[in-house]
Amino acid sequence: MSDALLPLLIALPLLAGIFPLLLGLRFERAGWPVAMTASLTVAVLAGWLAWAVSPWSGGPQRFVHDLAGYPAPYGIELVGDGLSAILALLISVVAVAVLIYGRTTGPQTNAFYSGYLLLTGGLLGMALTGDLFNLFVFLEIVGLVSYALIASSDDGRAAYGALKYLFLGTTGASLYLIGVGYALVATGTLNMGDMATELAAVGYTDPLVQAAFGFILIGFMLKIAIFPLHTWQPDAYTYAPDTVSAFISALVSTTAAYALIRIAYDVFTVDFFAANPLITDAVLLVASVSIVVGSLLALLQTELKRVFAYSSVAQFGMILAAIGLQSETALFGAVIHLVGHGLMKATLFMGAGVLASAYGAQTVADYAGLAKRAPITSGMMAVAGLALVGIPPSIGTLGKWFIALGAVEEGSWGVAAVIFISTLLTLTYIGRLLETLYFNQPATTDDETGVVGDAGDATDDGSIVADGGDTERATAGIDDVAPVATERIVVVVVLALSTVALFGAAGLFAEFLDPVFGRFFQ
Amino acid sequence: MTEIAAVRPLAAVLVSFIAAGLILVSGRRPNLREAWTILASVSMFGLVASMVPAALDGDILVTNLGTIVPGIDFALRADPLGVLFASLASLLWIVTSFYSIGYMRGLDEDNQTRYFASFAVSVAAAVGIAFSGNLLTIFVFYEVLSVATYPLVAHDETPEARAAGRKYLAYTFFGGGVLVLAGTTLVYWLTGTVDFTPGGIAALANADPTAATLAFMVLAVGFGVKAGLMPLHQWLPEAMVAPTPVSGLLHAVAVVKSGVFGIARVVLDVFGPETLAALGPDRFGDLGIALPLAALAAITLTVASIIALRKDHLKRRLAYSTISQLSYIVLGLALLEGDALIGGLLHIPAHAFMKLTLFFCAGIIHVETHTDYISEMAGIGKRMPLTMVAFGVAAAGMAGIPLVAGFVSKWYIVIGAFEGGNGIFAGVLLLSGILNIAYFWPIVYQAFFETPEDHDEKPLAEGPYGGRDRVVADGGDAGDHAVDDHHSDDHDSDHGDHHHGGPPAGGWTASNWRGGESTWFMLGPILTAATLSLILGIVPHTAVFLRIVETIVGNLPGVMG
């Protein structure tokens, strides 16, 4: 019975994606309720899946569903195990949070809600599929919908960002497809489980297999936004609507990184890494560079969303390093950090969105003194930011601990050093934000900002109540100041606290991941 | 030693976290807010004190909150070493709370709610550090402490305070987030456990010596950052821009002592004296890998004393004195010998009482007369008689003069140094005592025996190094503070715009000896702290700290006897 959950989890949001547009012909505001109903159902199903694969259900901890009854390796398989269940749960929970957050802030068009559901379905498909070509299909669904959602901002720069993402994202997906093609030529199959056995038979040092992995790796590095293939990502995150930024930054790269983990360890397996030390070293080198350069670039940014975007480049560098370490401990840390990073970035982007709509704050300088006006949002951004640095107690510490421990166990001292130093690197940009929020005096003149082209109206001191009863200043250039809806702040608070609460969840993660990693590291 | 499951260790930490929340929500009613602080500090001290008898009897109260990562529990254990630090921090929090109220209200500071809330979290973190049962738990609280003290350091929100806050964060996270975490990871990798065990984790003795040495050095330097070990001490003098109660409690008691405490844990309970002595190359002799640490401490305590001689800003001179005194403790620990360990550990409370007194004196002078520079304090004993008497007592203790706390602990360290055959370190300690007198005595002397109109020059503090080139400096010697002139030490330049420091025109007005010089909110804590340092100096066994310390050292296998 439980294996029917798998197609349901994917089909439900994809099919529901029609209804906001369809019902929108008749009812103008149909989109949000439809999307909410679908998301909540998906969340319940994902919870059910998580329970089903958990050790407590008593059932098998891995489910396989043959789509349309065609058996593998000819048909398409959907696979639910501990790892994909964690991802499905993360996707559905963040999706609900994003929807609640976006109720008032939009984009409130029905097209947005359709896109939102398609994206959710695509991400769940990536998380659950057991077929390499099917993964490409979902990768494309996710990509195309992301381009559309990013461009849905009124800002012309968003369209530019989306176009850039379109070019590079499509290139990435194509590289992935080429890699899959090579693997198909080498093995004659597309099913992941089947290919794992076939690859072992072909031999891991076969040039065709090496080339296949190379293309797949580069394709995903583009999608994950690892330096130097990250260039699409800051523009896309920065100019997208706040809701979309939070959604995409928390989930899209995360799911791509998950897919890379799945392919690297389930299809190519650790033996492939062991047979190709050069590829392993290259992955570790690129990852380390991404950590350092991403952090430094983040420090140089003036716009806050851009800071967070470059921060993702660094954080995913850490996850890529964990993938390259071939260590069970490090990979365990990578999955924890995937979840943790998703939650932390969602919190930070949503917090930035709240402050942007309340105070028009775009640049780091705009955040001066906002902690006094918006104590709750600022406090939660501080919590999530410190979690990102790796300050305990938070999920950020856990991920870092396991990745670093894995690096030490493997004797990769250089990688271990980079991961430890990344505390300071992350601190450079988070510390700057915190200092501005809490200790800088609000700017009284607009001459020192001047980075964003908003018509500064510094004399406007009209204040209304928002965020915990503190006064806010009217946003520059906009006359009608909308107070921030309470539920947006509640979402930020809940997500931020979850990053702290998950500090105690290492045992829980282990329960889910042990059977999966048992297969990965036989 | 038996372990007993109990909630009191957790309760002692939580009471202060809860107080922080209550302080935040009652920010608009200052009296209620301060009541929470007092209530929390008193109940926290009560909780900690109630655990002292058990610790002395060899019972350890443990709160286990479950597993964080495989093999490591989030455990709070009230063992003797933890009780020593926790009782010290909570006792002095009561004293400091009263002082804070007097100080913050006396200066009418902004952001008092944030201040008191951060303060409560800081103390909670310090007690958490004290009770941590393993390296990962101590890392958690260590980082919480760094975060919670940052708002206190940057409290003034001036560019100088923010720069100090940045520097503080960078240093402490380098020590904590980078080095302590790395060291913890290494120990876990080597042994599969990071639990504190008196005498050291057994598996470390047989571990790969290179990796174990690396782990020790990384951990020692990681905790050494907060302990002010040179050359990573720079944050401490900068952090003196914080309000004085912060400098007092956090930079003489909680923060810096948590660094020293971490080193104590590493030396005594992670590696153990025997393992440390066995590590390192043969030519390091009896001390093994602890020799570099001892040498670093010896250098730090001498050099910091010499720098302190030239600091004219009172709080900065105290800061360098702190750096120097902390290294007494580190030196005592690194000598790995029973009496030296007793001395080092006893110096944790001894130094805390004395330095708190000194900082409080600096603070009360600042509140009452806005005087920060020693050169402007001639004759101030007339204006603030009780304060300066307390200052004199604590300063005498710092120098190790008998009947004050500093003497007892220093005595033990010196004895331990000789017994361990490391006479050179005893020599360093004695030299440092002389330097202590050299930088504290002029303050006391000029306060009572000189007047603003007629006081001696201070060539050591004001002249160029070595006393040369007097001729050049006749242009009003404005540019003469060449040493680290980015510090606010060169105060000559800002005399013009806010001349409110120093004696008023016509000299200091005389105050009576019954507290007319200030409010009892501030005088009371000062006299309490000074009295405590006298009690610890005169009857060290009756004051329970020496007994706790002897229990700690007695529990270490193979150290005593």
Query: What secondary structure does DSSP assign to B65-102, as a single string?
Result: EEEEETTEEEEEEE-HHHHHHHHHHHHHHHHHHHHHHH
Query: Which residues have C-beta within 8 Å of that of residue A15, sequence separation ≥ 6?
Result: none
- pLDDT value of residue A282: 92
Q: Is B186–A423 a contact, with Cβ atoms under 8 angstroms apart? A: no
- Least confident window among A490-499, B205-214, B462-471: B462-471
The number of residues making up chain A comes to 522
Q: What percent of chain B clears pLDDT 90, i.e. is strictly above it? A: 2
Looking at residue A36, what DSSP letter applies?
H
In contact, B116 and B34? CB cutoff 8 Å: yes
- Best CA proximity match to A89, nearest among A99, A76, A101, A80: A80
Q: What angle do CA B88, B91, B93 make, to 5 degrees?
A: 105
Task: Choose the closest CB to A401 out of B69, B161, B162.
Answer: B69
Asked whether the beta carbons of A506 and B69 are under 8 A apart, the reply is yes
Top residue of A438, A509, A513, A514 to mutate, by most chain B CBs within 10 Å, is A438
The 10s digit of each residue's pLDDT in B150-200 is 888 888 888 888 888 888 888 888 887 789 988 998 999 888 888 888 878
- Please indicate whether, in this complex, the C-beta atoms of B173 and A424 are within 8 angstroms of each other: yes
B260-316 pLDDT, tens digit each: 999 999 988 888 888 888 877 777 777 778 888 888 898 998 898 888 888 888 888
pLDDT at residue B286, as a whole number: 73
Taking CB atoms and an 8 Å limit, are B173 and A435 in contact across chains? no
Q: B518 pLDDT exceeds 90?
A: no
Chain B CB contacts of A416 under 8 Å are: 182, 185
Mind listing the pLDDT tens digit for each residue in B325-347? 888 899 888 888 888 888 888 88
- Tell whether B70 is within 8 A of chain A (Cβ): yes
Provide the whole-model pTM: 0.86
Do B66 and A504 make contact, defined as CB atoms within 8 angstroms? Answer: yes
3-class DSSP assignment, residue A158: helix
Hey, which residues 185-204 in chain B have their CB within 8 Å of chain A? Answer: 185-186, 188-189
Q: Is B159 on the interface with A (CB under 8 A)?
A: no
CA A433 – CA B194 distance, rounded (Å): 34
Instruction: Please give the helix or strand (H or E) that residue A473 lies within, else none.
Output: strand A470-473
pLDDT of A180 reads 94
What's the pLDDT tens digit per position in B139-149?
A: 989 989 888 88
Find where tokens 């929500």 sit: B25
Min Cα–Cα distance to chain B from A389, Å = 9
Query: Six-digit token pair at B204?
Result: 């470390």
Contact status, residue A322 vs residue A499, Cβ threshold 8 Å: no
The answer to whether residues A457 and A477 touch, using CB atoms and an 8 Å cutoff, is yes
| C-alpha closest to that of A344 among A390, A385, A314 | A385
pLDDT < 50 stretches in chain A: 445-481
Sign of CA dihedral B172, B178, B179, B185: positive
Residue in A102, A92, A364, A123 with CA at minimum distance from that of residue A245: A102
Write out the residues of chain A at the interface with chain B, using a CB-CB cutoff of 8 A: 386, 389-393, 397-398, 400-402, 404-405, 408-409, 416, 420-421, 423-424, 427, 431, 435, 438-441, 503-504, 506-507, 510
Q: What is the 3-state secondary structure (H, E, C) of A414-431?
A: HHHHHHHHHHHHHHHHHH
> For chain B, what is the mean pLDDT?
81
Helix (H, G, I), strand (E, B) or coil at B5: strand
B98 alpha carbon, distance to own chain's centre: 19
Contact at CB, A420 and B181, closer than 8 angstroms: yes
Residue B535 in tokens:
């009690």
Residue B64's φ and ψ, nearest 5 degrees, are -110, 120
Is B391 within 8 Å of B363 (Cβ atoms)? Answer: no
- With contact defined as beta carbons under 8 Å apart, do A396 and A340 qualify? yes
Alpha helix segments (H runs only) across A18-131: 18-24, 31-53, 82-105, 110-128
Residues in Cβ contact with A442 at an 8 Å cutoff, skipping those fewer than 6 apart: A368, A369, A370, A473
Question: Are the C-beta atoms of A177 and A136 separated by less than 8 Å?
Answer: yes
Q: How high is the pLDDT of residue B177?
A: 77
Closest CA relative to residue B83, chosen from B557, B553, B545, B543: B545
CB contact under 8 A, B177 and A386: no
Contact with chain A for residue B415, Cβ under 8 A = no
Interchain contact B225–A (C-beta under 8 A): no
Nearest to A507 among B67, B147, B185 (CB): B67
Question: What is the band of B480 on the pLDDT scale with cuts at 50, 70, 90?
Answer: very low
Q: How far is A230 from chain B (nearest CA, A)?
A: 27
Cβ neighbours around A460 below 10 Å, total: 15
pLDDT tens digits along B387-437 = 888 888 888 888 888 888 888 888 888 888 888 777 888 888 888 888 888
Chain centroid to CA B301: 14
At B556, give phi and psi (nearest 5°): -80, 125
Q: Is the pLDDT reported for residue B91 higher than 80?
A: yes
> Can you tell me the mean pLDDT for B440-454?
80
State the Cα–Cα distance between residues A190 and A184, nearest whole angstrom: 6
Instruction: Please answer whether residues B39 and B19 qualify as being in contact, where contact means their C-beta atoms are separated by less than 8 angstroms.
Output: yes
Model confidence at B485, pLDDT cuts 50, 70, 90, reads: very low
pLDDT at A482: 55
Instruction: Tell me the H-state helices in A203-276.
Output: 207-224, 232-239, 242-262, 269-275
Q: Which of B173, B179, B232 has the highest number of chain A CBs within 10 A, making it the mutation to test binding with A?
A: B173
The answer to whether the beta carbons of residues B26 and B40 sit under 8 Å apart is no
Distances (CA, A) of B247 to B109, B237, B363: 16, 10, 9
Q: Residue B502 has what pLDDT?
A: 67
Distance from CA of A426 to the nearest CA of B (A): 11
Other CB atoms closer than 10 Å to residue A184's CB: what's the count? 16
The partner residue sitting opposite A420, judged by closest CB among B151, B182, B189, is: B182
When CB atoms are compared, the residue of A416, A439, A510 closest to B154 is A439
Block residue for tokens 């000194």: B358
Q: How confident is the model at residue B456 (pLDDT cuts 50, 70, 90)?
A: low
State mean pLDDT over B74-93: 88
Do B143 and A391 lie within an 8 Å CB cutoff? yes
Q: What is the mean pLDDT of residues B241-253?
A: 81
Distance (Å, rounded) from C-alpha A156 to C-alpha B285? 72
Q: How far is CA B84 from CA A92, B96, B121, B345, in A?
A: 49, 18, 19, 9
Look up residue A152 and give its amino acid: S
Q: What does the H/E/C string look like for B193-260?
A: CCECCCCCCHHHHCCCHHHHHHHHHHHHHHHHHHCCCCCCCCHHHHHHHCCHHHHHHHHHHHHHHHHH
A503 neighbourhood in chain B, CB within 8 Å: 68
Helix A192-202 and helix A207-224: axis angle, to 10°? Answer: 140
Q: Which residue in this structure is represented by tokens 């790395």? A: B182
Distance, CA of A53 to CA of A2 (rounded, Å): 9
Contacts of B162 in chain A (CB under 8 A): 435, 439-440
Residues B118 and B113: their CA atoms lie apart, in Å, by 8
> Distance (Å, rounded) from C-alpha B302 to C-alpha B324?
7
Cβ distance B69 to A400 less than 8 Å, yes or no, reads no
Optimal mutation site among A391, A394, A421, A422, interface B, most CBs of chain B within 10 A: A391
Neighbours of B412 (CB within 10 A): 26
Q: Cα separation of A243 and A239, whole Å?
A: 11
